[in-house]
A = this chain, B = another copy of it.
Amino acid sequence: MIRAEIIAIGSELLTPSRTDTNSLFITDELNKLGVDVVEKHVLGDERARLTEAVRAAIHHSEIVILTGGLGPTEDDVTREAVAAAVDRVLVLSLEQERILTLRFQQIHREMADNNRRQTFLIEGAEALPNPYGTAPGQFFKTKSGGLFLLPGPPRELKPMMHEQVVPRLRPMLPPQVIKTRVFRVAGMGESDLDALVAPVYTKYANPTTTVLSAPGDLSVTLFARSSSEAEADALLKEVGDPVAQLLGERVYSTEDAPLEVVVGNLLRQRRATVATAESCTGGLIATRLTEHAGSSDFFIASYVTYNDRQKQQLLGISKDLLEAHTAVSEPVARAMAEAAKDNTGATYALSTTGYAGPDGGDQENPVGTVFIGLASPQGTTVRRIHCGLDRARIRLFATQAAIDLLRRELLHAG
C-alpha cells in the first residue's frame, strides 16, 4: 500500500478566505494511480515548522508532495526547509541559471537578483522543468519513496503534475488498473439510499464505495483497483449491477452529468421544449435549466409569480381558485403548470408553489411543503413533497424534484 501526503505552503492559505484547492487535483491524480492520500497539511512561511512537517511526512508516507513557496522572495522558504529536513545542502544549478536567464531575455526583462534563489536545487535532486513559470520543480528519492516540490499557481502545477510527477511515480508503483462506476441519483434521501444499497456494497472492500449528498441529489461512486482491466470491470459489474438494479429509475446519470444536463439532452432528443411557472423556487428552475451552453435548444420561457395577484395577472389563475384552495395547493400548482404550457407553447411546463419559510405555512401544509406540477402532452400531474425546514435547502430540493419529475416523464414518453 503506497500512501501520500500533501503539504501546501503559503501564509495566504491560512486566512479565513482562502483554502488549498491544489490538493484536490493532486489527490485525483494520485487516486488514479492507486495511491491514497492519508494526510494533508497547510503551513505558512515559518521555516522551522515546515522542516519538522516535512521530516514527519517522509517518515510516515512513501510519497510526499509539496506545493508553493518556490518563488523568488525571502518568504519562499520551501527549498531551505526541505533541504534542512533531509540534511542536505542547496546547490546552485548552472543549468537552471542558464534556463532562467534565457527566459528573462525572451520576455525582455531584467532578471532580478532575487530570482537567483530559484536556481538552487536540493543536493541530489532532479529539476522538474516548468515552462509556465520561473520556479522549476524538484524531485528526489527518499528511503521509502520520493518527494516532489511543485510551484503553487494551479496553471503551473497542473501541467507539471501530468508531465513530470505522474511519469516519475508510475514506475515506483505496482502495476494497477483503476476504474470507476458512478450513479447519480434523484428522488430519495441519503439514509434511504444507504438502507437500500449499503447491504450490497459494504460486503466489498474492492471496489470501495462513496456516497456524496446535496439537497435532493446523491451520487454513488464505485472505485475498483486491480492488476488487469478485465478484472476491474468484473469487480465493478459484480457490485454495480445489483446497485443499479436496486436504484432503478432513480439513477439519472451513469456519466456523472448534472440532472439539468440529462434532462436537456432528453428534451433535445425529443425536439421538445420546457417552460416554468415558479413561485417558491423564485426562478431557480429556470436558472438551472439555462446554466449550460445550448439551453436555448429546449428552454423557452419562465414566469416567476411571487404573489396571488401576479399569479392572476401573468398566468390567468382565477381568483376563485386561489381563494378556495390558497396559492399553496394542488389545484393552483396544476393551473400554473397548464398556464405556462399554454401561454408559451412549450411541450412541457413545470410549476412550483410552496412555503420556503421561515414564515408561512399552516397545520396541513407546514413550511417546507411544495406542490410541483408538470403539464405534458399526456396531461398534468402534481406531486406534494416536503423539503425540510431551511429556506435555501427547500428551494434547492424543490428545484431538483421538479426537474426530476420532468426527467421521469420524458423517459416514459420514449
A contact residues vs B (CB 8 Å cutoff):
12-21, 23-25, 27-28, 31, 36-44, 46, 49, 52-53, 56, 60, 210, 212, 276, 278, 282-287, 289-296, 299-307, 309-310, 313-314, 343-345, 357-359, 391-392, 395
Nearest-neighbour CB distance to chain B for A294, whole angstroms, equals 8
CA distance A17 to B284 in the complex (A): 24
Interface of A is mostly: mixed
CB-based contact B28/A14 at 8 Å: no
Additional 20 contacts, C-beta under 8 A, given A293-B357, A302-B303, A302-B304: A13-B40, A19-B24, A38-B43, A39-B49, A52-B56, A276-B304, A282-B291, A283-B285, A283-B287, A283-B290, A283-B304, A290-B306, A300-B310, A301-B304, A301-B306, A301-B307, A301-B314, A303-B304, A304-B304, A314-B343
What's the minimum C-beta distance from A154 to chain B, rounded to whole angstroms? 12
Residues of B within 8 A of A43 (CB): 38-39
Q: Check A302 against B300 for contact (C-beta < 8 Å).
A: no
Q: Kindly name the residue among A18, A56, A282, A305 whose own CB sees the greatest number of chain B CB atoms within 10 A.
A: A282
Taken together, the copies of this chain in the complex come to 2
**A16, B12: Cβ atoms closer than 8 Å:** no
Contact B21 A19 (CB under 8 A): yes
Q: Which residues of B contact A19 (CB under 8 A)?
A: 19-21, 23-24
A294 / chain B contacts, CB cutoff of 8 Å: 359
Residues of B within 8 A of A307 (CB): 296, 300-301
Q: How far is the CA of A19 from the CA of B16 in the complex (A)?
A: 14
7 smallest CB-CB distances across A and B, nearest first, come from: A282-B290, A283-B286, A283-B283, A16-B28, A302-B304, A301-B310, A40-B42
Complex Cα distance, B160 from A186, in Å, reads: 33
Complexed CA–CA distance, A46 and B5 (Å): 14
**Beta-carbon nearest neighbor of A275 in chain B:** B310
- Given A52-B60, A212-B17, A301-B303, are A287 and B293 also a contact pair (CB < 8 Å)? no
Give bound CA distance, A302 to B306, whole Å.
9
**Chain B residue nearest in CB terms to A59:** B52
Bound-complex Cα distance A56 to B49 (A): 10
Contact partners of A14 in chain B: CB under 8 A: 27, 36-40
- 25 inter-chain pairs at a CB distance below 8 angstroms, sorted by A residue, are A12-B210, A14-B27, A14-B38, A14-B39, A15-B31, A16-B31, A19-B20, A19-B24, A39-B43, A56-B56, A276-B304, A278-B283, A282-B287, A283-B286, A292-B391, A293-B359, A299-B306, A300-B306, A300-B309, A301-B307, A303-B303, A304-B304, A309-B345, A310-B344, A313-B343
Q: For A25, list chain B residues within 8 Å (CB).
A: 16
Minimum CB distance partner of A296 in chain B: B306
- Give the distance in Å from the alpha carbon of A21 to the alpha carbon of B18 in the complex: 10
CB distance from A13 to the nearest CB of B (A): 8
Assess the A286–B293 pair: CB atoms within 8 A: no
A42 neighbours in B (Cβ, 8 Å): 39-41
User: How far, in Å, is A52 (CB) from chain B's closest CB?
Assistant: 7
Which B residues touch A276, using CB under 8 A? 304
A304 to B346, CA, bound (A): 13
- Alpha-carbon gap, A300 to B371, bound state (A): 20
The residue in chain B whose Cβ has the minimal distance to the Cβ of A392 is: B291
Q: Are B40 and A46 in contact (CB under 8 A)?
A: no
- For A46, the chain B residues whose CB sits under 8 A away are 38
Residue pair A293, B358 in contact (C-beta under 8 Å): yes
- What are the residues of chain B within 8 A of A299 when measuring CB–CB? 282, 306
8 Å CB contact of A304 from B36, B38, B40, B290 = B290
